[in-house]
């Protein structure tokens, strides 16, 4: 399983490299397309994806499928492979991938993105576990969110983001789950623009009785009294939480908020509505479990599982009962009271 964890980390870094390649110079050519109603998040009046989202997902899927062919048919992601009428895929070399991309963006931009997609990732994390219990790869599935907080990514690339928003809120989320039970077992959160372009990777394993987690940056600030919520949350719920003694903070990006809970930078993340999806929560869920926490539905406090049937309708993958995410069960019990 150590090898699988390393592959998921490598795949996340491939996606992160593609995201960073869009920021090497002022980019007025970041192709942005509005998602169709079937694929869009109902929370937004308009929901968008970029050419970087699609290429990052295809690159991560290819990395996983190349190393583990038995997983190839069980890797699912937020984005479909088509954008602007062009189907994006990784060809056998940089030149051919750039040819596909150049139908959508200028050749110089296409070559830079293709190079990032094909570049061998050289990333070494020193705290990865050496000995792990065996896991049945044939029982696994994978969820990918290639660039979470796309609106913040677009604003950041264009230099239009407010302070504390934009690129630092972007995350790459890759989580593995057991297809037999739906339980999340391995999670990787990659924050490509942490401290500029340095990046940060958080990982976790929760498989049967084995739990382990780590982070590539050890400078973590804990905050045990903050509850993270969306700016679109019901005001009466926000006020109720505040009156119970919690500090409420609104931040962009589901992955960003879940990462902060997983790191202990916030006590909980609460969503009462169905505005997050399986690709948002699978990776963080595994990490939360590795740290002794969990991610459950807001409405009836039931477990969230990830072995949902394949569907052409992305709303099938919605966490329709909302979510409560936490690392410390004591915080959760305090919240319930």
Q: What residues are annotated to the active site?
A: 53, 78, 145, 147-148, 150, 280
Q: In this structure, what DSSP letter does residue 317 have?
A: G
Collapse the DSSP code of 250 into the 3-class scheme (helix H, G, I; strand E, B; otherwise coil) and give the result: strand
Q: Using CA atoms, how far apart are residues 248 and 228, in angstroms rounded to an integer?
A: 6
Alpha-carbon radius of gyration of the chain: 19
Helix (H) or strand (E) holding 270: strand 268-271
SS3 content of the chain, % helix, strand, coil (to 5): 35, 20, 40
CA-wise closest residue to 166 among 23, 314, 329, 48: 23
Counting Cβ atoms within 10 Å, is residue 126 exposed (0-12), middle (13-18) or buried (19+)?
Answer: exposed
Counting Cβ atoms within 10 Å, is residue 70 exposed (0-12), middle (13-18) or buried (19+)?
Answer: exposed
Q: Are 280 and 258 in contact (CB under 8 A)?
A: yes
DSSP 142-197: EEEEEEE-HHHHHHHHTT-PPTT-SGGG-EEEEEEEETTT--EEEEEEEETTTTTT
Q: Are 21 and 113 in contact (CB under 8 A)?
A: yes
Q: Using CA atoms, how far apart are residues 311 and 290, in angstroms rounded to an integer?
A: 29
CA-wise closest residue to 295 among 306, 308, 285, 309: 285
What are the beta bridge partners of residue 206? 211
Helix (H) or strand (E) holding 289: helix 278-290
Side-chain-facing half-sphere of 312: CA atoms under 13 Å: 1
């Amino acid at each position: 399983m150590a090898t699988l964890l390393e592959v998921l980390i490598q795949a996340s870094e491939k996606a992160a490299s593609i995201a960073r390649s869009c920021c090497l110079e002022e980019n007025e050519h970041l192709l942005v397309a509005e998602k169709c109603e079937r694929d869009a998040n109902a929370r937004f009046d308009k929901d968008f994806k970029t050419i970087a989202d699609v290429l990052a997902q295809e690159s991560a899927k290819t990395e996983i499928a190349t190393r583990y062919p038995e997983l190839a048919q069980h890797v699912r992601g937020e984005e479909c492979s088509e954008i602007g009428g062009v189907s994006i895929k990784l060809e056998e070399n940089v030149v051919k991938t750039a040819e596909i991309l150049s139908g959508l963006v200028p050749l110089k931009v296409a070559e830079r993105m293709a190079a990032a997609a094909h570049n061998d990732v050289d990333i070494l994390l020193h705290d990865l576990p050496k000995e792990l219990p065996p896991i049945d790869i044939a029982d696994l599935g994978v969820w990918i969110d290639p660039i979470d907080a796309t609106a913040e990514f677009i604003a950041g690339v264009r230099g239009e983001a407010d302070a504390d928003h934009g690129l630092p809120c972007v995350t790459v989320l890759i989580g593995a789950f057991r297809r037999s039970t739906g339980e999340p077992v391995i999670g990787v959160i990659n924050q490509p623009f942490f401290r500029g372009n340095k990046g940060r990777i958080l990982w976790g394993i929760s498989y049967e009785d084995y739990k382990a987690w780590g982070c590539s940056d050890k400078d973590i600030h804990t905050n045990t009294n903050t509850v993270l919520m969306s700016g679109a949350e019901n005001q009466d719920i926000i006020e109720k939480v505040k009156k119970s003694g919690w500090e409420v903070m609104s931040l962009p990006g589901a992955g960003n908020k879940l990462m902060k809970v997983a790191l202990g930078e916030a006590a909980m993340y609460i969503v009462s509505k169905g505005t997050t999806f399986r690709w948002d929560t699978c990776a963080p869920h595994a990490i939360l479990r590795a740290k002794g926490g969990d991610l459950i539905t807001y409405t009836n406090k039931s477990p969230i599982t990830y072995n949902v049937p394949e569907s052409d309708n992305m709303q099938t993958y919605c966490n329709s009962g909302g979510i409560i995410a936490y690392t410390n069960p004591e915080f959760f019990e305090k919240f319930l009271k």
